[in-house]
Amino acid sequence: MQDYVYVDSRTTLQPLLEQYRQSELLVLDTEFVRTRTYYARLGLIQAYDGKTLALIDPVAIDDLSGFWQLLTAPNITKVLHSCSEDLEVFAHDGGIQPAPLLDSQIAAGLAGNGHGLGYAKLVQQYLGVALDKGESRTDWIRRPLTMSQLSYAANDVLYLYQLFPELKQTLEQQGRYQWALEESARMTKGRLTPPVREQAYLKVKNAFQLSSTELAVLRQLAAWRLDKAMKKDLALGFVMKDHALIALAKKQPRTINDIMRLKDLTDQEKRFYAKDMVNLINKVDFSSLPDPVDVLALKPAYKNAFKTLKGRLEQIATDTAVPMELLGSKRHINEYLGWYWNDKSGDTPLLLQGWRGQLVADALAKLPV
């Protein structure tokens, strides 16, 4: 195990950041806790430039602005593994997204190592090192952290730094390194934009089942739930479950007694929010109704069109050794079909952009869908 430094003050952080600013490569990871909260609670930041492996304590340091600025430095490639949740943390705590960025899980997929390769398997495959994942359920907010926890955290950047050159070389030989950078950068898009409360209802499960009138109620309720979740830092489901919102939108109770008779809400939901629900439902503006949620899969031509596209994409995935999940997931196919059936209006679907477009555009243009 290589030595690491534990950074728990601005005094020790500043010279470290000055050193890192001179680097071309910085490997990063974060440890956080997220059980009932809307936002992840950041517990530790790991960073390694090949010279100094640092474990930075965001619980102890009250000003990380210099570190956040470092993550946008254009001369430093930031490397993380499976970084979607890390990007959420960077957006909320730092108000930034790292750039340029390379996600090693994406890079491994494009290099022909399969989809969703975990960090431990990646290290085993490239370096022959078996990692101990025994601290994966650590409470990273509690202090002090043990030596075992700190060693576990340090390993998450130590070995990624070691294997990165080989992974990069493989991609460059295949002409795919820029693909990996492009796909990694795409993961950062939109993360600094706050959720639109008026559109929160579109993410409620089974919203497609509702009529326009019912959707007007759901729109009001879902916006309220989002506001409450963000204000109280509670996961959406711990404010009110999706199925409860759907039931309220369908039944539209007008009094607290009506709420209390509903079997779809928990006793806690009734006790805390019955008054809010009644007020919200009684104030719904039915003069401006949302459009019904368009479910692509309900269209008569959908099944055959989806099968046709999926089959062609699977063949391309096999021929190019790019995982199907990365090349053309169900979401990608649905986005393409929605665009195609809407007279190709609106934003160009992801399947036709960038490296995906290079691989599939010609083939899709020849397909009858």
What pLDDT, on a 0 to 100 scale, did the predictor assign at position 244?
A: 97
| Residue 183 annotated as catalytic | no
Is 39 marked active-site? no
Check if the beta carbon of residue 256 is closer than 8 Å to that of residue 278: yes
* 29 sits in which H/E element: strand 25-33
Q: Classify the C-alpha dihedral 103-163-45-41 as positive or negative.
A: positive
Choosing from 20, 31, 49, 273, the catalytic residue is 31
| Cis status of the peptide bond prior to 98, with omega within 30 of 0 | no
Contacts of 228 by beta carbon, 8 Å cutoff, 6+ apart: 234, 239
- Cis preceding linkage at 165, omega within 30: no
Q: Which residue has the tokens 């007694």?
A: 257
Residues across the chain: 369
Closest among 233, 186, 226, 187 to 203, alpha carbons compared: 226
∠ CA 17-160-138, rounded to 5°: 80
Alpha-carbon gap, residue 170 to 304, rounded angstroms: 38
Among residues 20, 48, 126, 152, the one annotated as catalytic is: 152
Sole residue written with tokens 């952080």? 13
Q: Identify the pLDDT of residue 298.
A: 85
- Choosing from 49, 86, 93, 214, the catalytic residue is 86
Is 152 marked active-site?
A: yes
Active-site annotation holder among 4, 20, 29, 119: 29
Beta bridge partners of 48: 27, 53
Tokens representing residue 316 in the block: 């391309």
What is the per-residue DSSP string for 5-49?
Answer: EEE-SHHHHHHHHHHHTT-SEEEEEEEEE-SS-SS-EEEEEEEE-
> What integer pLDDT is reported at residue 366 of this predicted model?
82
Q: Which amino acid is at 277?
A: M
pLDDT at 1: 54
* pLDDT at 188 (0 to 100): 98
pLDDT-flagged residues of the chain (< 50): none
Contact 46, 95 (CB under 8 A): no
Instruction: Name the catalytic one among 49, 57, 103, 156.
Output: 156
Q: Which amino acid, 248?
A: L
pLDDT digits (tens, 9 = 90+) for 221-266: 999 999 999 999 999 999 999 999 999 999 999 999 999 999 999 9
Could you give all domains of the chain from N- to C-terminal order, each with its CATH number? 5-186 (3.30.420.10), 197-282 (1.10.150.80), 296-365 (1.10.150.80)
